[in-house]
Amino acid sequence: MSGGLVTGVALVGALAGWAAVPLARRFAGPAHSAGAGRPGAILAGAVVFGGLAVALGADPALPAFLLVAAVGLVLAGVDLACLRLPDPLVALAAAFGGAGLVVAALAAGTPARLLTAVAGAAVSFAGYVLLALLPGARLGFGDVKLAAVLGLPLGWLGWPALGLGLLLPHLLNGVVVLALLVARRVRRDTALPFGPALLAGAWLAVLLS
């Protein structure tokens, strides 16, 4: 993908970040301040979209990934604000991802990749269900459902990408928790959002794959 197109996609991402802030506030409720504010969301949107454009290039699935990322920006803001991943938003990400990948498979003439994508979602769902059921686990079923949705595009890219997408959120979350503990911003029993780590881990998995 040319530099001009990457820049254009990044600008669209900045717009998505700008729009994500009021949407996140609407889902989080008036008592919560969603996310890190509009400047941070704009920057995050530009970086996320631009990174996907660089990583995927001319892959016909790029629009599907961008649509999931756009909803992901809203989900991250809501989870940071009130520790929730609203079902309507998770379902919207699933619909965007699924429909986008179907169109991509038809356009590229590779319907078999849809089977891998669905398998990726199933493996991700099963893995996170097991983690959520472990004693002392702090995963909510919103996290489980989001992990399944993200498993769909990661499965499209193949098993290595899915494996990274399953591993990286826990590494990222561990680093963040450790830093907050050292800074005495949280205690060991403080509830923290996991949705942003899921989304960031999936994004990094795409870039590294």
Against a cut of 0.75, is the pTM above it? yes
In the block, residue with structure tokens 């907050």: 180
Task: Note whether 80 and 23 are within 8 A (CB).
Answer: no
- CB burial of residue 85 (10 Å; 0-12, 13-18, 19+): buried
- CB burial of residue 201 (10 Å; 0-12, 13-18, 19+): buried
Each residue of 63-115: pLDDT tens digit? Answer: 999 999 999 999 999 999 999 999 999 999 999 999 999 999 999 898 999 99
CA dist., res. 11 & res. 64, Å (int): 17
Q: What is the mean pLDDT of the chain?
A: 92
Task: Note whether 162 and 154 are within 8 A (CB).
Answer: yes
Domain ranges of the chain: 3-208
Position 62 pLDDT exceeds 80: yes
Task: Note whether 156 and 112 are within 8 A (CB).
Answer: no
Each residue of 146-191: pLDDT tens digit? Answer: 999 999 999 999 999 999 999 999 999 989 988 888 887 878 777 7
